[in-house]
Amino acid sequence: MKWIKKSIEKHKFVLMANKGGVESVAWHVGESGGIDCRVPFYMYKRRVTMTFPETPSPDIRPDPRLALYMMRAYNDELGRVVTYTYQHLLTEGLDNEASDLFLSLAEGDMAHFHTLGRLIRALGGDPGVTMRMATPRIDLSGDASCRALPVVRRMLCQDMQAEAAGITELESLAAAARDEAVTAALRTMIAEEQEQYEALERLLRKL
């Protein structure tokens, strides 16, 4: 319980995404005895629920092989956090709707990155980052107002591909997991990643 309260405070920026605010906090005790926290809030003008599982849990059986397999998804989540933050900064003031969405996605994926790290540790792995983070430069020189629309469309298309790949990766992990608590945490992340994909798709259709 103490860890969850600390986690909520640590991830306060997630809960306040898009100036939504927290409506309520629901504590839930699962069948395995693990405690998680479900917090309804608004992401990109839609009500969603972010779940913070309490891990490591004594009920999670060590599985170093799965922990190693999970490292790719862990690093990919961090890569998307960096990419979305970069896109948010570039589009701020040019396309505020897209900029707000990129910020919300960065915050959501940061929560997923944290959850995967705790799962890796619970499974017996070391959640150290093994990727070299670099974002491809996006040229907004010249008349930025004229260039903004095609650049944003390209960003959205690339982000949708990355989200789809991330969902496939998480589904593979969920299928390989032998512990129900791990599977449940991954399924929650998959549902939230699908929400993020749909948010990108909706904005792309508007442009």
Each residue's pLDDT, cut to its tens digit, for the chain (207 residues) gives 333 333 444 343 333 333 333 334 343 434 433 434 444 444 444 444 444 444 445 578 899 999 999 999 999 999 999 999 999 999 998 889 999 999 999 999 999 999 999 999 999 999 998 776 666 667 665 544 444 578 889 899 999 999 999 999 999 999 999 999 999 999 999 999 999 999 999 999 988
The alpha carbon of residue 22 and the mean position of all alpha carbons in its chain are separated, in whole angstroms, by 18
Alpha helices, DSSP H, located in the chain: 2-10, 12-15, 64-91, 96-122, 144-176, 180-206
Task: Report pLDDT digits (tens) over 41-68.
Answer: 444 444 444 444 444 455 788 999 999 9
Task: Tell me if the pTM is above 0.85.
Answer: no
In this prediction, residue 94 carries a pLDDT of 85
Helices 180-206, 144-176: inter-axial angle, 10-degree rounding:
160
Which tokens is 42 given? 């608004």
Counting beta carbons within 10 angstroms of the beta carbon of residue 142, is it exposed (0 to 12), middle (13 to 18) or buried (19 or more)? Answer: exposed
Task: Yes or no: say if 80 and 178 are a contact pair by the CB < 8 Å rule.
Answer: no
Task: Yes or no: say if 81 and 110 are a contact pair by the CB < 8 Å rule.
Answer: yes
